C-alpha cells in the first residue's frame, strides 16, 4: 500500500520509493526502504501530511507520499 | 601553511543548532563577506586561542551534498574553493542522529579531516537516547564531542580541539562501489547500533502544541492572532525610535545650516545627503522589530507549522508553504524578503514568490498611507476602539496581500516549468528562543536593507535634489540655473510633461513630481509634498495636510478630493516604485527580464487600479 493510505497513528515500514524528481530528496531526508514511518497529523484539507520518521517529523504533500510504498505493521485497534 | 589562515568550515543539517555554535565559538566576532559575482553571503568568524587564530566559515544548513536549493548550493561552495577548508566541523542533532549523519557520511568521502560535535544532547537524554562517544570516536576514527550550543556546555573543550590534531574519518559508509542513499543509511544504522542505545521513549511536548498549531480552525486563528499582535507591536514600539531618529536628523540639519558656508555644497549636504540618509535610517526600527518577531517565530519552530498549514492554499496560487516567510517579510521590506526566497527549491515557486512579494505593503508605504488617510478619512470610531482610519489602513494591507495572491495565480499560468514542485520539509521540535541567533538574524536582515536599499536611495535622493533645485534657463539656452521654484525646476518640467498621461487617474503635475521622486523610495512622496507646498519642517504633518487640503485646481475644486486621494493610495499600493527592489530582483534572478516584467506589470496594475477607483469616486 501507499503512504497516503495509512491512517493517522498507524505504523508501517517503507518498502520502496517510486522514481520521481523528488525521490532523491525523500531519500536524503531518511525515507529509505526498511525505515519505520508513522503518520502523526494532517494539515487542514488533509494535505500536506506529517510523519514520524525514525527520530524526527517530516512533512510532505500527498503527491510525494503517494510515491512511497509501505507495509502496514499494526492494523489500528480502537482501544 | 602559515601564510594562509587555517580554515575550518562549520556544516550540518538545518535546525541542528549550527548558528548557536558559530555564535558561541566566535563570540559574535564575525563578518559577512560577499562571494564575488553573486549575492551569496558567507559568514566568516575568528576563533582565537592566545595568539593562534582560526578562520571559521558558517554555511547554511544542508541535508546533502547534492544541493536542492540556492542556499544549499551556497553551503557546498566552500568545498570547491582554493585552498579547500583544512577541517570540517560537523554538527549533528544528537536526538536525531541517523538523518543527521547522512550528510556526514557523504562528506567523509572527501579525505578532509573532520570533527563531530553532537548537539542537543539534552533532548537526546530526554528521549532516552544514549550515545557512547568513545566507541563512536573509535569507529569513525575522528574526535567526537558532546556539546550544548545553547548553554555553552562542552564548547570550550571543542574549541581546544580545533587547535589540536585532526583526523580523516576511516569508517566506510556504503561500500567502495556502492554509494547509494540506501547503502549509506544502512552503514549509519550499523554504526548507531554499535554506539547508541535507546532506554525509554518519552513523548516531547511538541505533539501537544501541534494539536493546536495545526488544528483546522484553531491553527489559522492562532496564526491570525500572532500576526495582529506582531503588527500592533511593530506600530507602537517603532514609533519611539523613529521619533528620536527624525528629531536627531532635524537637529543635525539645523546645526549644519548654521555652521556651513552658504552655497550649493551646503544645500547638497543638507537637502541631498542628510535627507537621503535620514530617509533610510528612519525605517530601521520598523524593519528590525518586524524581523525580530519573524526570527523568533522561525527559531522556535512555529514558522514551519505555518508553512505546513498554509501550503495547500498557497500551492493553488502557484506558491508554496515556503513562500510564507518571504511574503510576511515583505511587510517590512521587499529586499530581505526576496533574499529569503533562496530556500525554496522549485525555481517556479521561487520566481513567483519573488515577483509578487513587492505587492505586500512595505514600511516605506506607511508614511504615504498615513498622510493620505489623515487627509480624507475622518477619525470616527467604527467598532468599539477601532477607528475608520485604522480600518482603512488595515484594508490597504489586505489590498496588497490580495493583489499579491492574484498576481501569483496569473504568473502560475504564464510561467512554463516542467519540474514539479514539492514540499518535503522537516518540522523541527519546538524549543525556547535562542536569543543570540535571533539578534544576529535580525541584524543581518536590517543590514541588508541599509546596504542594498541605502546606497541606491542615497544616490537617487542626491540626483532628485539636483533635479528639484535646478532648472533650465528660460531663455532657451541649454545652461543650468538655480531654480526659483519647484515648478520651474527640471523635476517640475518632468511633472508637467507627464501630466497628460496621469490626468485620467486624477493626478496633476505636482503629484507627477512626487511619483517621479518616489522612485528613490516611496516615502519620499511626503518629503516632496512638503517641498512643493513649502512646508518648512518636513515632519510637520498637520501643516502639510492643511496646505494640501486648501489647494484648488483651475475650476476652483479641491485638488485632493476623496477620489484623488483613494486613487493615489491604490497607486502607491501597486506601483513598483523601488529601484532597490528591482536591483535585488536582478541579482537574485540573474537577468533583467524579471525585474522588467515586474516593473511593467505592477505599473500597469497601479495605473488601472487607480483609474477604476478614480472613476468610481468622482
Say whether B131 sits in a helix, a strand or coil. Answer: strand
> How would residue B469 be classed by pLDDT, with cut points 50, 70 and 90?
confident
Residue pair B532/B486 in contact (Cβ under 8 Å)? The answer is yes
Tell whether B252 and B377 lie within a shared domain: yes
Tell whether B164 and B132 lie within a shared domain: yes
> How would residue A79 be classed by pLDDT, with cut points 50, 70 and 90?
very low
Residues in chain A closer than 8 A to B214 (CB atoms): 41, 43-44, 50
**Is the predicted pLDDT of residue B155 greater than 80, yes or no?**
yes
> How would residue B536 be classed by pLDDT, with cut points 50, 70 and 90?
low
Answer yes or no: do B99 and A29 touch at CB < 8 A: yes
Closest CA in chain A for residue B321: A48
Residues in chain A closer than 8 A to B179 (CB atoms): none
Query: CA-to-CA distance for B140 and B105, rounded, in angstroms?
Result: 10
Residue pair B94/B66 in contact (Cβ under 8 Å)? The answer is no
pLDDT at B39: 43
Query: CA-to-CA distance for B33 and B177, rounded, in angstroms?
Result: 39
Residue B495's domain comprises 448-617
- Give domain limits for chain A: 3-36+46-72
Tell whether B386 and B484 lie within a shared domain: no
Tell whether B174 and B238 lie within a shared domain: no
- Ranked by mean pLDDT, the top range of A28-37, B278-287, B480-489 is A28-37
Tell whether B383 and B299 lie within a shared domain: yes
Say whether B148 sits in a helix, a strand or coil. Answer: strand
Between A18 and B476, residue with greater pLDDT: A18
Cis peptide bond prior to B462, omega within 30° of 0: no
Question: Given A22, A29, A53, which is nearest B63 (Cβ)?
Answer: A29
Q: Is residue B1 included in any domain, yes or no?
A: no
pLDDT at B410: 96
Mean pLDDT in residue range B80-87: 87
Q: How far is A6 from chain B (nearest CA, A)?
A: 18
Question: Given B214, B313, B424, which is nearest A25 (Cβ)?
Answer: B424
Q: Is residue B340 included in any domain, yes or no?
A: yes
Residues in chain B closer than 8 A to A28 (CB atoms): 63-64, 66, 102, 181
**Is the predicted pLDDT of residue B72 greater than 50, yes or no?**
yes
Q: How far is A38 from chain B (nearest CA, A)?
A: 13
CATH topology of domain A3-36+46-72: SH3 type barrels. (2.30.30)
* Residue A41 contacts B, CB cutoff 8 Å: yes
Tell whether B26 and B169 lie within a shared domain: yes
Q: Which of B433, B462, B489 is the C-terminal boundary of a domain? A: B433
Counting Cα atoms < 13 Å in the Cβ hemisphere of A31 gives 28
Answer yes or no: do A44 and B311 touch at CB < 8 A: no
Tell whether B254 and B182 lie within a shared domain: no
| pLDDT tens digits along B213-260 | 988 899 999 999 999 898 888 888 888 898 898 889 889 988 998 888
**Is the predicted pLDDT of residue B199 greater than 80, yes or no?**
no
Q: Is residue B203 included in any domain, yes or no?
A: no
Tell whether B474 and B586 lie within a shared domain: yes
Reference B494, options B515, B522, B475, B474; nearest CA is B515
Tell whether B372 and B476 lie within a shared domain: no
> How would residue A64 be classed by pLDDT, with cut points 50, 70 and 90?
very high
| pLDDT tens digits along B328-373 | 999 988 988 998 898 899 999 999 999 999 999 998 898 899 889 9
CATH code where residue B17 lies: 3.40.50.300
Question: Given B181, B321, B425, which is nearest A28 (Cβ)?
Answer: B181
* Residue A28 contacts B, CB cutoff 8 Å: yes
| pLDDT tens digits along A10-43 | 999 999 999 999 999 999 999 999 999 999 999 9
Task: Specify the number of domains making up chain B.
Answer: 3
- Ranked by mean pLDDT, the top range of B121-135, B248-262, B402-416, B503-517 is B402-416
Query: CA-to-CA distance for B510 and B505, rounded, in angstroms?
Result: 14
Query: CA-to-CA distance for B109 and B65, rounded, in angstroms?
Result: 11
Interface residue of B308, B418, B428, B431 to substitute, partner A, most A CBs within 10 Å: B308
Residues in chain A closer than 8 A to B99 (CB atoms): 29-30, 53-56
Residues 6+ apart with CB under 8 A from B542: none
**Is the predicted pLDDT of residue B34 greater than 90, yes or no?**
no
Q: What would the DSSP string read from start to end of A22-76?
A: THHHHHHTT--TT-EEEEEEE-GGG-SEEEEETTEEEEE-HHHHTTEEEEE-SPP
Tell whether B133 and B239 lie within a shared domain: no
| pLDDT tens digits along B580-605 | 899 999 989 989 999 999 999 999 99
**Is the predicted pLDDT of residue B479 greater than 80, yes or no?**
no
Distances from the Cα of B350 to the Cα of B98, B151, B319, angstroms: 30, 36, 8
Tell whether B157 and B250 lie within a shared domain: no
Residue pair B531/B334 in contact (Cβ under 8 Å)? The answer is no
* Residue B193 contacts A, CB cutoff 8 Å: no
ipTM of the complex: 0.93
**Is the predicted pLDDT of residue B480 greater than 80, yes or no?**
no
Amino acid at each position: 500500500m501507499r503512504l497516503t493510505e495509512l491512517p493517522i497513528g498507524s505504523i508501517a515500514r517503507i518498502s520502496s520509493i517510486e522514481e520521481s524528481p523528488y525521490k532523491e530528496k525523500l531519500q536524503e531526508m531518511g525515507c529509505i526502504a526498511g525505515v519505520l514511518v508513522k503518520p502523526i497529523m494532517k494539515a487542514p484539507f488533509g494535505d500536506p501530511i506529517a510523519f514520524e520518521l525514525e527520530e524526527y517529523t517530516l512533512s510532505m504533500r500527498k503527491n510525494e507520499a503517494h510515491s512511497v510504498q509501505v507495509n502496514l505493521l499494526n492494523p489500528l485497534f480502537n482501544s | 601553511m602559515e601564510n594562509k589562515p587555517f580554515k575550518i568550515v562549520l556544516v550540518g543539517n538545518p535546525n541542528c543548532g549550527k548558528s548557536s555554535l558559530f555564535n558561541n565559538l566566535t563570540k559574535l566576532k564575525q563578518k559577512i563577506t560577499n562571494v564575488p559575482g553573486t549575492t551569496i553571503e558567507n559568514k566568516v568568524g575568528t576563533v582565537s586561542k592566545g595568539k593562534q587564530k582560526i578562520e571559521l566559515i558558517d554555511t547554511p544548513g544542508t541535508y546533502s551534498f547534492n544541493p536542492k536549493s540556492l542556499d544549499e548550493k551556497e553551503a557546498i561552495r566552500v568545498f570547491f574553493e582554493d585552498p579547500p577548508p583544512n577541517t570540517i566541523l560537523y554538527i549533528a542533532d544528537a536526538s536525531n542522529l541517523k538523518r543527521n549523519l547522512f550528510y556526514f557520511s557523504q562528506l567523509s568521502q572527501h579525505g578532509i579531516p573532520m570533527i563531530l560535535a553532537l548537539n542537543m544532547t539534552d533532548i537526546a537524554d530526554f528521549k532516552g537516547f544514549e550515545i557512547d562517544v568513545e566507541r563512536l570516536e573509535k569507529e569513525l576514527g575522528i574526535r567526537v564531542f558532546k556539546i550544548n550550543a545553547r548553554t555553552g556546555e562542552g564548547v570550550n573543550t571543542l574549541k581546544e580541539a580545533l587547535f589540536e590534531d585532526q583526523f580523516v574519518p576511516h569508517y566506510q559508509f556504503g561500500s567502495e562501489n556502492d554509494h547509494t542513499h540506501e547503502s549509506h543509511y544502512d552503514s549509519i544504522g550499523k554504526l548507531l547500533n554499535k554506539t547508541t542505545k535507546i532506554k525509554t521513549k518519552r513523548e516531547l511536548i511538541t505533539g501537544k502544541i501541534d494539536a493546536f498549531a495545526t488544528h483546522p480552525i484553531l491553527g489559522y486563528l492562532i496564526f491570525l492572532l500572532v500576526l495582529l499582535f506582531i503588527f500592533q507591536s511593530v506600530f507602537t514600539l517603532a514609533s519611539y525610535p523613529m521619533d528620536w531618529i527624525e528629531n536627531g536628523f532635524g537637529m543635525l540639519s539645523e546645526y549644519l545650516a548654521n555652521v556651513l558656508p552658504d552655497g550649493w555644497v551646503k544645500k547638497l549636504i543638507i537637502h541631498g545627503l542628510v535627507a537621503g540618509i535620514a530617509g533610510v535610517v528612519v525605517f530601521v526600527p520598523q524593519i528590525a522589530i518586524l524581523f525580530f518577531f519573524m526570527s523568533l517565530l522561525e527559531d522556535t519552530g512555529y514558522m514551519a507549522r505555518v508553512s505546513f498549514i498554509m501550503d495547500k492554499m498557497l500551492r493553488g496560487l502557484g506558491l508554496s508553504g515556503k513562500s510564507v516567510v518571504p511574503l510576511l517579510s515583505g511587510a517590512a521590506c521587499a529586499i530581505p524578503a526576496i533574499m529569503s526566497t533562496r530556500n525554496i527549491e522549485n525555481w517556479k515557486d521561487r520566481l513567483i514568490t519573488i515577483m509578487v512579494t513587492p505587492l505586500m505593503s512595505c514600511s516605506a508605504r506607511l508614511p504615504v498611507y498615513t498622510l493620505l488617510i489623515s487627509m480624507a478619512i475622518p477619525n470616527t470610531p467604527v467598532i468599539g476602539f477601532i477607528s475608520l482610519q485604522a480600518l482603512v489602513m488595515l484594508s490597504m494591507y489586505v489590498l496588497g496581500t490580495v493583489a499579491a495572491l492574484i498576481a501569483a495565480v496569473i504568473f502560475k499560468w504564464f510561467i512554463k516549468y516542467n519540474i514539479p514542485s514539492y514540499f518535503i520539509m522537516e518540522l523541527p521540535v519546538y524549543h525556547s528562543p535562542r536569543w543570540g541567533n535571533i539578534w544576529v538574524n535580525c541584524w543581518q536582515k536590517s543590514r541588508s536593507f541599509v546596504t542594498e536599499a541605502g546606497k541606491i536611495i542615497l544616490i537617487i535622493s542626491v540626483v532628485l535634489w539636483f533635479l528639484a533645485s535646478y532648472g533650465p534657463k528660460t531663455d532657451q539656452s541649454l545652461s543650468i540655473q538655480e531654480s526659483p521654484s519647484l515648478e520651474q525646476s527640471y523635476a517640475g518640467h518632468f511633472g508637467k510633461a507627464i501630466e497628460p498621461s496621469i490626468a485620467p487617474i486624477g493626478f496633476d503635475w505636482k503629484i507627477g513630481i512626487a511619483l517621479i521622486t518616489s522612485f528613490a523610495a516611496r516615502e519620499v512622496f511626503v518629503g516632496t509634498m512638503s517641498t512643493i507646498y513649502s512646508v518648512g519642517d518636513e515632519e510637520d504633518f498637520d501643516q502639510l495636510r492643511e496646505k494640501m487640503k486648501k489647494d484648488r485646481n483651475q475650476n476652483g475644486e479641491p485638488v485632493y478630493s476623496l477620489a484623488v486621494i483613494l486613487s493615489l493610495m491604490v497607486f502607491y499600493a501597486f506601483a513598483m516604485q523601488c529601484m532597490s527592489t528591482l536591483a535585488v530582483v536582478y541579482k537574485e534572478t540573474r537577468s533583467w527580464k524579471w525585474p522588467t516584467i515586474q516593473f511593467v506589470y505592477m505599473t500597469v496594475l497601479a495605473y488601472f487600479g487607480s483609474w477604476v477607483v478614480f472613476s468610481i469616486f468622482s
